[in-house]
Amino acid sequence: MNRRQILQSLATLLGGSSLPLPHARHFSGITPPPQQAASPDATQPHPVSPHLVNLLDYEDAAQGRLSKMAFDYVAEGAADELTLRRNRESFSGIRLKPRVLADVSKLDTQVELLGQKLDFPILLAPAAFHKLLHPEGEIATARGAVAAGATMVVSSLSTTSIEDIANIASGPLWFQLYVQRDRGFTRELVQRAEYAGCRALCVTVDSPVPGTRYREMRDEFHLPAGMTPANLKSLRMPSNNDAGATLATRGIYNVLMDPKLTWDGIDAIRTYAKVPVILKGILNPEDARLAVAHGVHGIIVSNHGGRQLDTVPATIEALPQVVNSAGGHIPILMDGGIRRGTDVIKALALGARAVLIGRPYLWGLAVNGAGGVEQVIRILYREFLTAMALCGKPTISAIDREVLWPDHSL
Ligand code: FNR
């Protein structure tokens, strides 16, 4: 059996979400996401199952549990998937500069973001259709996020309504907005999210049209009968779609993406939104400058996980210019390709206030529901602590370009 087969059999053995966590006994030893300052301890037992020790293991394990269509939907990028790969490769090309003999016995990962205190600067990126990955869908994701102490950004395209997610999630939620052609409906959706307790609004601006995705085309991607974008139930669907049953992917995107959206639309949202408005999907420094000028409260540097315009740069490559362009006026977050604790410290060193992960927690969800989501976050968090310690940086505010080995291209 090769490594992938072993992981796949393990995933099969894990069975449904009702099974106890296979590695629960290891949990007692892991440094929890800190309620107070924390530090990694090499003497503690390894935090996870020996077969699922890092985020990439979860991808391998998830592949054994999912249909080809569902796996491809999560894994895919646009067109030749060059940007998808570049998001990862660019992290590999950045080297860290360690420091020795710094007192790292206490590490503090708390960070302030848009008036909120986060225990650590890692959030769950919005992703559509969690029920494709696990029968409990977004409810399981929210439970995992709460258990690990992370903020979850709920997608407009969740298969569970924002109200139902908020009812079970005792932890912080943000809402991701796809601006609809029906602007009245858009406003109602924002108000529903605010009423449900979401603390920030991420308006996704990189998707006026869907990206070219060959895997979806080949797999004839569709939502299984009975699975719908729950937040959009009252939205009028184009006549060629059956809103109640199987929605063709392209049909969903037609409803969701308003190619007419411009800065005026963002200004309009700013007038009624009661929570901070963040633009998700900016790479171009000129757009970052405009975002500041239009008074938004934050930016997520994102290429949609390489799913929209292929051959754009990796987000870690675009980040420094966006940070520079925003001039310190608003916090800059980033996502795309974060798989290791060292990736998190690199992003922070290049000016990100926090990072988001997408696919890794979806793989965790597929492998073991809420427990899998929790584990993925804990693994990444622990790796991040280790990277902080070995770079000699005990606090988030201490992380700067000094942790990067000099490279004049950055
Ligand atoms: C996404 N992403 C996304 N973004 C968004 O604003 N609204 C959405 O509904 C979705 N849906 C979605 C589904 C799936 C399956 C994936 C993989 C991604 C993009 C997501 O928020 C994030 O930008 C990327 O996933 C980050 O890259 P990594 O961490 O997956 O490499």
> Using a 6 Å cutoff on CB, does residue 358 contact ligand 1?
yes
> What are 20-43's pLDDT values in tens digits?
222 322 323 334 454 434 555 533
Higher pLDDT, 247 or 90: 90
Enumerate the active-site residues. 304
> What are 142-183's pLDDT values in tens digits?
999 999 999 999 999 999 999 999 999 899 999 999 999 999
Residue pair 154/146 in contact by the 8 Å Cβ criterion:
no
What ranges do the domains of the chain cover?
Answer: 48-222+233-403
Q: Does domain 48-222+233-403 have CATH number 3.10.20.30?
A: no
Q: What residue owns the CA closest to ligand 1's atom 2?
A: 127
**DSSP string over 89-117:** HHHHT--B----S---SSBB--EEETTEE
For residue 36, the model assigns a pLDDT of: 39
For residue 180, the model assigns a pLDDT of: 93
Q: What residue owns the CA closest to ligand 1's atom 6?
A: 204
Q: Which of 400, 409, 404 is nearest to 97 (CA)?
A: 404
> What are 359-371's pLDDT values in tens digits?
999 999 999 999 9
For 389-398, what is the mean pLDDT?
A: 98
How far, in Å, is the centroid of ligand 1 from the Cα of 87? 13
Q: What 3-state class would DSSP assign to 296? A: coil
Q: What is the pTM of this model?
A: 0.89
CA distance 354 to 333: 5
For residue 13, the model assigns a pLDDT of: 40
